[in-house]
Amino acid sequence: MFKKHLDFEKLKLVNTNSMGEHLGIEFVEIGEDYVTARMPVDHRTCQPFGILHGGASVALAETLGSIASFMTLDDPTKQQAVGLEINANHIRSVSSGNWVYAKATPLHLGRTTHIWDIKITNEEQKLVCVVRFTVAILGNK
C-alpha cells in the first residue's frame, strides 16, 4: 500500500520546520497498512490546566494522516495530499509528562479522496481520542 518514495529516515525530515516538529511529533512505525507516531504531553501541547490540549491531538492526527496519504501517492511530484475535513472525539485526558501515540489506518483510498481512522492512545494504550480525517488528493500545478 505505501510507496517507497518516503522511507522511515525521510519521514523524520518531513517534519523539519513544521508544526509537527514544533509539537515534538515523532514517527514510530510504518506497517503494511498503518503509520504510527507519538507526541509528548508537555508545555507545547498542554492547555493551561496541565492536560493535553484537544487541538494538539487534532494536529497530531492531521500530521499523521497527511503523511500516510502522501505515502500512498503514485507520483508525489504530480500529486499532493491536503486535509479536507477532520472530526475528533476527545475521550480521556492525559497529564503533562506523558506521551500519546497515534495510529492511522485507511478506511478509503480513492483516486481523489482518502479517509483515515486515527486512534490516539495514552502510554497504557487507553483510548484518548478518535479521529476521522478526510484528505483531498490534488494534482500539482
Which domain covers residue 51, as residue numbers? 8-139
**pLDDT tens digit string along 14-70?**
778 899 999 999 999 998 899 999 999 999 999 999 999 999 999 999 999 999 999
Candidate list 62, 85, 123, 124, residue with the active-site label = 62
Q: Which of 79, 80, 57, 70 is nearest to 106 (CA)?
A: 70
CA distances from 75 to 78, 87, 105 (A): 6, 28, 21
Domain contains 78:
yes
Instruction: Please state the pTM of the whole predicted model.
Output: 0.94
Domain contains 91:
yes
Phi, psi for 87 (deg, rounded to 5)? -135, 130
**pLDDT tens digit string along 68-85?**
999 999 888 899 999 999
Domain contains 1:
no
124 classed as catalytic: no
Q: What is the CATH number of the domain that holds 102?
A: 3.10.129.10
Q: How many domains does the chain have?
A: 1
